[in-house]
Amino acid sequence: MQDSGFPIVARMGNQFLARLRLQRVSCNQQIARLERLLAAKRERLAAIEATIHDLEPELRLPAPTHKPNPIFARGEVTRLALATLREAGEPLPVSVIAVRILAAKGVALPPPRIRRMAKSRLRAVFAALERRGVVRTVGEGMEAKRALTSH
């Protein structure tokens, strides 16, 4: 007969359950506080936009565009791209690097939208790395590949 773990919780008594309930209350309080803070920030933003509109009625304000990357953390694209180039030991196209770094993150068969997003991020990363002299572009246009510079 396999132990499901339930008797252990039952033996621990009400202390374990009481701790969980306190943690739940604490989380709910934090969420309520953050929601109030968010509401205040939204009101402040609306007041700022209203003032801008009063001063310049014809000015169109762009919608917020920053969307967090759902797959990569900050700096992770750079780290994975450089690791991929080191492993390959030869110049690689951005599309190949994109597929490899997505696979490293557990996205084996990425949909086209995710591949495009990864390639776009990689191009930006490689532009910055090229300015710093870390990578170089080999070839032009559709045949362009990225390689590590030899130091």
147 — phi, psi (to 5°)?
-140, 155
39 vs 77: CA distance, rounded Å: 33
Q: What is the pLDDT of residues 69-124, one digit of tens each?
A: 788 888 999 999 999 999 999 999 999 999 999 999 999 888 898 999 999 999 99
pTM: 0.56
CB-neighbour burial class of residue 127 (10 A; exposed 0-12, middle 13-18, buried 19+):
exposed
What is the residue extent of each domain of the chain? 6-55, 76-148
pLDDT score for 98: 95
Q: Looking at domain 76-148, which CATH architecture does it have?
A: Orthogonal Bundle (1.10)
